[in-house]
Amino acid sequence: MSTRVPLSDGFVNGEVSFWYRSSGVPAPRRRLDGPLSADVVIVGAGYTGLWTAYYLKKSAPGLRVVVLEQEFAGFGASGRNGGWLTGDLAGSHELYAKSHGAEAAVALQREMFASVDEVIAVCAKEGVDADIVKGGVLTVARNTAQASRLRAHVDEARAQGFGAGDLELLSAAESQERLRVAGTVQGSWSPHCARIQPAKLALGLAEAVRSLGVEIYEGTPVLSIEPKRAVTPYGVVSGDFIIRATEGFTSRLKGLRRQWLPMNSSMIVTEPLPDSFWESVGWQGAELLGDMAHYYMYAQRTADGRIAFGGRGRPYLYGSRVDARGHTHDWTVEALWQLLVDFFPAASSSKVAHAWSGVLGVPRDWCSTVHVDRETGLGWAGGYTGHGVTTTNLAGRTLRDLVLGEQTALTALPWVGRKVRAWEPEPLRWLGVHSMYRLYRTADARERSMRRTSVLARFADLITGH
């Protein structure tokens, strides 16, 4: 590791994520020991699978619901993310409006806002302590070009019917009253976001699901998904419905390597920071923090007084490979640390305690989908493009309605049944993604002295359909 990154004596790289540090990474519980049958079989015990199981058993207690998980519940993105329970749309408002109309796209956004409160309510009801604080999200612009994009974003929200109560434009001074980020020239704030501790949510939700009678088999990889069947090394699990809830790990399944691109995202977390630091920067409302850079960051103030700070790092491995254990390259740790102290110079006296990485699922059009084919029994939800903490809850409720054959406001939303073409074969996939992020990094550097968005960023969007 570069000497420019101060590391704590107990620095850890990988081992799933920092979020499991206090509880320890759980060993997989019982694995499947032979063939069985169920009403609904869910592949993947992350947020999507757990929320789907939860709502199915709540609505139809008599259903036999089985969840199959290769590692342990919460092993993937559910236990590694930045802890943003955000109402941000997991996709493009413009594309959803193009396929289903403006009102449908607005309805989807409203459901996302409502899903933030739904997660909080369920956690309170089920006794899941996930360090939740609904402090909203502050987005900062740190140069003129970023500020221009931020104002355009707020203008678009206004045109869609969202008022200041949903998204508020802030001056530099107003932003600094909430959180003093170096170089802020403008900001925005939305109340539709809450901080969570991701692993606590995943582990608590898994226990809530088990208490309802859902069978979770861990240490049980699924080799292939077929109509009415999930094939494992330990037996075939048959069911009326087979729900794929594998997000960034979908590329590992037979025939699905190009379905969703496994995008890598990385994080570091500091040691606990002293009271003098928090007095100098504010951050008293537990707001989530993001920015308007193309190569964007995301951060939270943790419940124990650290900064958890994330970004892209090395975004994609050739052939849709996945580094499952979360080890993070030295270059990425250094880049995240340099950006963190650029935002908060007073943090430079701190040290990095943990670094980790995980993958999220990205569809070719960057819009999430949910679907159930009642003829084959195959269903799925995912492609959350980094907004999965909240979207998985909406997915779970929507999959419940689709499995139960109910026509509701949720099943009418524009992401239901959305069809997206596959990503290009290699090496085009690798070249496209890495070219996109190289262009974004260059655009961010150029925009420090520009007034408008760099043409390089627009070209990167064009390449990948972002």
What's the full length of the chain, in residues?
466
- Per-residue pLDDT, 290: 98
Q: CB-based contacts of 299: which residues, under 8 Å, 6+ apart?
A: 82, 288, 289, 290, 307, 308, 309, 310, 340, 343
Query: What is the predicted pLDDT for the residue at 321?
Result: 86
The pTM (predicted TM-score) of the whole model is 0.96
Residue type, 2: S
Q: Indicate whether 353 pLDDT > 60.
A: yes
The two three-digit tokens of residue 193, written as one number:
């976001």
What does the mean pLDDT of the chain come to? Answer: 95
pLDDT band for 39, please (50, 70, 90 cuts): very high
Choose between 436 and 64: higher pLDDT: 64
pLDDT score recorded for residue 357: 95
Q: What pLDDT band is residue 323 in, cutting at 50, 70 and 90?
A: confident
pLDDT of residue 449: 79
Q: What average pLDDT does range 373-397 have in this prediction? A: 97
Contacts of residue 349, Cβ cutoff 8 Å, sequence gap at least 6: none
Cα→Cα distances 201→129, 241, 386, Å: 7, 26, 17
- Please compute the mean of the pLDDT values over residues 221-243 and round it to a whole number: 97
Query: What's the pLDDT score for residue 97?
Result: 95
Specify the higher pLDDT residue, 462 or 393. Answer: 393
From the centroid of its chain, how far is CA 98?
24
Residue 275 banded pLDDT, cuts 50, 70, 90: very high
Angle, CA of 379, 410 and 464, to the nearest 5°: 65
Task: Give, in order, the Cα–Cα distances in Å from 368 to each of 242, 356, 371.
Answer: 19, 25, 10
User: Looking at the predicted structure, is the pLDDT value of residue 296 above 90?
Assistant: no
Question: Residue 119's closest CA among 390, 417, 443, 454?
Answer: 390
Ramachandran assignment for 328, one of left (phi > 0), alpha (psi -120 to 50 degrees), beta (any other): beta
